[in-house]
Amino acid sequence: MLEKIFKLKEHHTNARTEILAGLVTFLTMAYVIFVNPAVLSTDFAGQPTGLSFDAAMLATCLAAFIASVLMGLYANLPIVQAPGMGENFFFVTVVMAVTAAGIADGWKTALAIVFISGVLFLLLSLLQFRKAIIDAVSPSLKNGIAVGIGIFIAFIGLKNAGVILDAPPGSLVMLNKSLTQPHVVIFFGGLLVTAVLQARRVKGAILWGILFSTALGVLWGKIRFTGVFGLPRDHAFFQLDFRHVLRPDFIAFIVVFLFMDLFDTVGTLIGVGEQAGIIRDNQLPNANRALVSDAVGTVVGAASGTSTVTSYIESCVGVEAGGRTGLMAVTAGCFFLVALFFTPLAAMIGGGWMTEGGSVNPVTAPALVLVGAMMVRNVVKVDWQDATEGIPAFLILIGIPLSYSIADGLALGFIAYPVLKLATGRGREAGGLIWVVALLFVLRYLFIHV
């Protein structure tokens, strides 16, 4: 049955590998279960938003389950979905703006705004506009995106481990020079073990590395067993307030949600597709089905009580573990559902812990760094001899990590690409749709300052 649904042999894989890849991806993403509710339930001033932690946690797991399973069964791609970590902070911004406008229960209006943006995602997907963007991107830009996401993933891993710290004013980041701190030692121990296992081609190297880091955390007393079973005690199903969403000052929020998810998803699909080696003739198979799955996930997520659902770059961890089909996504999605019943156990591995410098998770961080290293290999596929291809690709690959945003990183390359082509008398090579996308980016930064 699995062979018939996911065409495992055609993708040179098997059920065991796909399920293991799904587990590894889930463990790498498990922080979402706790971080997303923490973000959504408290505003930037430390005040409750009105959306409870338990309700947001329930919505997070349900949305990740439904969207990932749909991605696996409908699109048969190894891409896991969950509420986006950039979009959730913007959600809180919207809640604060709505509340400041004098509207009670601003979080309900914010959920309605996300819901409408999800419906618009779905319409654009059904009209195949989003797929057309993916197909219009040149091979060099596609590989530039993959490399940029790889560096981004590695950077996130180093930040999560507490190895890279926020620097004082006047600089960006700095290295944590306190190498004896428990989370730093656990990170480098896990990184070394995982790297050695990968170099020796041991199957499941990333999973073994995560388990090794977990064991170190337990021995150090940083990871404590707090139980096995547990369930959220609240929900926010269908708590949508549509009465104020079309106010002129709120329409911009719908546009920004639409913009963020559109280009975050496009970038992630291209990056994961390149890493998995499934892009053929410059096209990602079942791309439109993947985009429909992403849009449905956002609609379901908003109705459940969470912010925009998007495709996760951590899917690359599962791809590196051997995942090539939708069975990986289905497996990871099912673990998100199961996690609702085993909340303390999932928190033990994926939740991390607090330090004086903030929250850290050195257990899964080594996996992110090593996957980033694997994705950088795509840099050789960029046509560096052609400046009109190489320069935009370079702007993307440095723009994504430095702006800490896939969408903003894409903007640099997507604007530069058609301009360079035109300036060298090769404007037609860019294609009309790339010009449209470039114009949208320019308009977004000129007129929407949120």
Q: What are the tokens at 314?
A: 């951590």
Reference 291, options 69, 74, 11; nearest CA is 74
Of the pLDDT bands very low, low, confident and very high (cuts 50, 70, 90), residue 379 is: very high
Q: Which residues pair with 42 in a beta bridge?
A: 48
Model pLDDT, residue 44: 63
User: Are 414 and 441 in contact, with CB atoms under 8 Å apart?
Assistant: yes
Q: What are the tokens at 180?
A: 């004896």
In order of 251, 252, 259, the CA distances from 448 in angstroms are 11, 7, 11
Whether pLDDT at 436 is above 60: yes
Three-state secondary-structure class, residue 180: coil
Model confidence pLDDT, tens digit, residues 389-429: 999 999 999 998 998 887 788 889 999 999 999 999 999 89
Model pLDDT, residue 448: 66
**How many Å from the N-terminal Cα to the C-terminal Cα in the chain?**
48
Mean predicted confidence (pLDDT) in 206-228: 86
Alpha-helix residue ranges (DSSP H) falling in 44-138: 53-70, 85-100, 106-126, 129-136
Whether pLDDT at 327 is above 90: yes
Beta strands in 296-439, from DSSP E residues, in sequence order: 309-311, 353-355, 358-360
Count of all residues that appear for the chain in the document: 450
Using the Cα atoms of residue 77, residue 285, residue 270 and residue 196 in order, give the sign of their dihedral. Answer: positive
Which of the two residues, 207 and 112, has the higher pLDDT score?
112
Torsion of CA 310, 77, 201, 351, to 10 degrees: 30
Mean predicted confidence (pLDDT) in 291-300: 93
Whether pLDDT at 336 is above 70: yes
Reference 20, options 343, 275, 317; nearest CA is 317
Mean predicted confidence (pLDDT) in 230-235: 82
The pLDDT > 90 percentage for the chain reads 42
CA–CA separation, 16 and 364 (whole Å)? 21
Mean predicted confidence (pLDDT) in 267-283: 83
Model pLDDT, residue 92: 87
Domain extents in the chain: 2-152+224-351, 383-450
Of the pLDDT bands very low, low, confident and very high (cuts 50, 70, 90), residue 347 is: low
Model confidence pLDDT, tens digit, residues 103-148: 989 999 999 999 999 999 899 889 888 788 878 889 899 889 888 8
CA–CA separation, 58 and 413 (whole Å)? 38
Model confidence pLDDT, tens digit, residues 29-63: 887 887 788 778 887 666 889 998 889 989 999 99
Whether pLDDT at 346 is above 70: no
Q: Which residues neighbour 284 within 8 Å (Cβ) at sequence distance 6 or greater?
A: 77, 134, 269, 270, 273, 278, 290
Q: What are the tokens at 436?
A: 């449209």
Mean predicted confidence (pLDDT) in 15-42: 87
The whole-chain average pLDDT of the chain stands at 88
Supply the angle between the helices 287-304 and 129-136 in degrees, to the nearest 10: 130
Using the structure block, give the residue that is written with the tokens 């992630």: 268
Model pLDDT, residue 351: 65
